[in-house]
Amino acid sequence: MRATWILIALTTGCLRQTEFRCQTSDQCGTGGTCEPVGFCSFADPDCGRRFGPQAGTLANTCVGGVDAGVDGMHGDGMIDSPTNHCPTGYNPITNGTPGHKYKLLTATDTWMQQHDLCAGAFTYLAIPDDATELGALDTLAGAISDYWIGVDDLVTEGTFLTVKNVAATFLPWQAPAPDDQAPGEDCVEVITAAAMFNDVRCAPTQLPAICECDP
């Protein structure tokens, strides 16, 4: 295996560059595998297993480097999906981030399961950047009272990061949150009626979610 990876600009697919270092496969969610390089991979019909969107410079590349349309691991590592496209079912929303598309997952599940559903489509749990975008997400959620977003303090208690692995700067908490009232209240839900955040247990709590696509 070549020791030096060629870093390119990933301009295809629905992906923000992210990085999450795993230590065990349990941290990757259902169906995920923590590869020896410290990133999660997921089953892929084209190449067996593909690194997830939080695998840094390896994001969306096939484990072993064999990708569709790429001759072995010395190819350019580009995603084999159409340029600047989001999966079917993702749409822009009024007052959402310009150019981004969103999808409401109405079925309830744990934070990690919803995270994996977004990641499997090369998107991510939505990250409201300000009150305007949060209001747009609430409108998309409609009658749903609470839903998961891509913010958590799983790494360090009290330090909330987005699923992009950067500090969350927009945190409109509903008092007394964040209070970690029950052990493991490490994932963030949006309380739609209040347009505010609350910390709850990542599991067994099951909620709908919104995925975000960054073309």
Contact status, residue 148 vs residue 111, Cβ threshold 8 Å: yes
Other CB atoms closer than 10 Å to residue 94's CB: what's the count? 9
Domains defined for the chain, CATH in brackets:
1-85 (no CATH), 101-213 (3.10.100.10)
pLDDT given for residue 151 in this prediction:
97
Contact status, residue 12 vs residue 83, Cβ threshold 8 Å: yes
Other CB atoms closer than 10 Å to residue 11's CB: what's the count? 11
- Measured in whole angstroms, the distance separating CA 29 from the mean position of its chain's CA atoms is 12
Distance from C-alpha of 105 to C-alpha of 66, rounded to nearest angstrom: 31
What is the model's pTM?
A: 0.63
Q: Is the dihedral of CA 139, 140, 142, 148 positive or negative?
A: negative
pLDDT tens, residue order, the chain (215 aa): 333 332 333 333 443 445 788 878 888 888 888 876 678 888 877 667 788 888 776 788 776 543 432 222 122 222 233 345 789 999 999 999 999 999 999 999 999 999 999 988 889 999 999 999 999 999 999 999 999 999 999 988 889 999 999 999 999 999 988 987 777 899 999 999 999 999 999 999 999 999 999 87
Distance from C-alpha of 146 to C-alpha of 167, rounded to nearest angstrom: 22
